[in-house]
């Protein structure tokens, strides 16, 4: 039995004041929910404030990125130790926007996951195909390459996979529940062949998740949660997604 896991990826939105406003409104809406793991990943600048406000709540704190060195002359980068000291328990690694705009390869993603895990952070590893890859029937091949490269020499301990088809991110075009489950089942099949504990690893779906479609996505056997961008920016909308996931 895999506990549903719903995570908010705020990307580059929300000032410290807006973070405070969101959390103060959101916590009362979900405080009764115990059967869903809930995580918020605000920008780095909001982490300390969010950590203070989320303390002793049922919502945990994550970051959206991390570097693969512990310290040193890497201007602008943030280490796992810094994230832990800011109150994070988890970090998102390999989001398609990082891959697309900041040239992150599976090799870089792999190095980041290794240091994050060694440091004690849980990881949400993002993978997913582009529209062109899907239309040329290369979805499974792309997912397998991303898994193989990103998870090289790693166990699944502390790792959640987020399947995010790039064509569904921020486009309002959600994968159908069948498309999502097919990809999730394929990912789990690959993990089963190549790693231990594939049956306990959680696989989130990401890409235009909203309160209106969370229940049908969660009704699928291999969908264990969601990584939510746009619809996580308003407290009532994100609470609606969390509540929808709790019903299953």
CB of 230 to ligand PGA, least distance (A): 3
CB of 228 to ligand PGA, least distance (A): 5
Per the listing, tokens 């075009």 go with 173
Give yes or no: 186 in active site. Answer: no
Indicate the residue among 180 and 231 with the shorter CB distance to ligand PGA. Answer: 231
> CB burial class (10 A; 0-12, 13-18, 19+) of residue 13?
middle
Indicate the residue among 81 and 213 with the shorter CB distance to ligand PGA. Answer: 213
Binding residues for ligand PGA restricted to 209-248, rule: CB under 6 A: 209, 227-231
Half-sphere exposure of 52 (CA within 13 A, CB side): 6
| Residue 4 interacts with ligand PGA (CB under 6 A): yes or no | no
> Measured between alpha carbons, how far is 248 from 233 in angstroms, rounded to an integer?
23
Q: Is the distance from CB of 229 to CB of 20 less than 8 angstroms?
A: no
| Residue 38 interacts with ligand PGA (CB under 6 A): yes or no | no
| Residue 91 interacts with ligand PGA (CB under 6 A): yes or no | no
Binding residues for ligand PGA restricted to 189-208, rule: CB under 6 A: 206-208
Give yes or no: 184 in active site. Answer: no
> Measured between alpha carbons, how far is 182 from 141 in angstroms, rounded to an integer?
13
Binding residues for ligand PGA restricted to 153-192, rule: CB under 6 A: 164, 169-170
Name the token pair of 228.
């939510």
Indicate the residue among 74 and 102 with the shorter CB distance to ligand PGA. Answer: 102
Catalytic residue among 95, 97, 104, 129: 95
Catalytic residue among 97, 104, 164, 184: 164
CA proximity to 213, closest of 222, 221, 202, 205: 205
Alpha-helix residue ranges (DSSP H) falling in 31-130: 47-54, 80-85, 96-101, 106-119
Residues contributing to the site for ligand PGA (CB under 6 A): 9, 164, 169-170, 206-209, 227-231
Positions annotated as catalytic residues are: 95, 164
């Amino acid at each position: 039995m895999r506990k549903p896991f719903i995570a908010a990826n705020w990307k580059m939105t929300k000032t410290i004041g807006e973070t405070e406003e969101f959390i103060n409104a959101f916590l009362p809406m979900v405080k009764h929910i115990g059967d869903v793991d809930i995580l918020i990943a605000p920008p780095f600048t909001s982490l300390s404030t969010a950590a203070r406000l989320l303390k002793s709540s049922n919502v945990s704190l994550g970051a959206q990125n991390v570097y693969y060195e512990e310290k040193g002359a890497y201007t602008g980068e943030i280490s796992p130790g810094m994230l832990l000291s800011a109150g994070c328990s988890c970090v998102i690694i390999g989001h398609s926007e990082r891959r697309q705009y900041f040239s992150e390869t599976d090799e870089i993603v792999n190095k980041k996951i290794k240091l994050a895990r060694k440091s004690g952070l849980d990881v949400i590893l993002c993978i997913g195909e582009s529209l062109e890859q899907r239309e040329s029937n290369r979805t499974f091949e792309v997912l397998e390459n991303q898994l193989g490269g990103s998870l090289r020499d790693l166990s699944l301990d502390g790792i959640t996979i987020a399947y995010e088809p790039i064509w569904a991110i921020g486009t309002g075009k959600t994968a159908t529940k069948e498309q999502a489950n097919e990809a999730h089942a394929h990912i789990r099949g690959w993990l089963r062949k190549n790693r231990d504990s594939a049956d306990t690893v959680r696989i989130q779906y990401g890409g235009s998740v909203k309160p209106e479609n969370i229940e049908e996505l969660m009704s699928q056997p291999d969908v264990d949660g969601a990584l939510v961008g746009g619809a996580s920016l308003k407290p009532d909308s994100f609470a609606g997604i969390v509540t929808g996931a709790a019903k299953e």
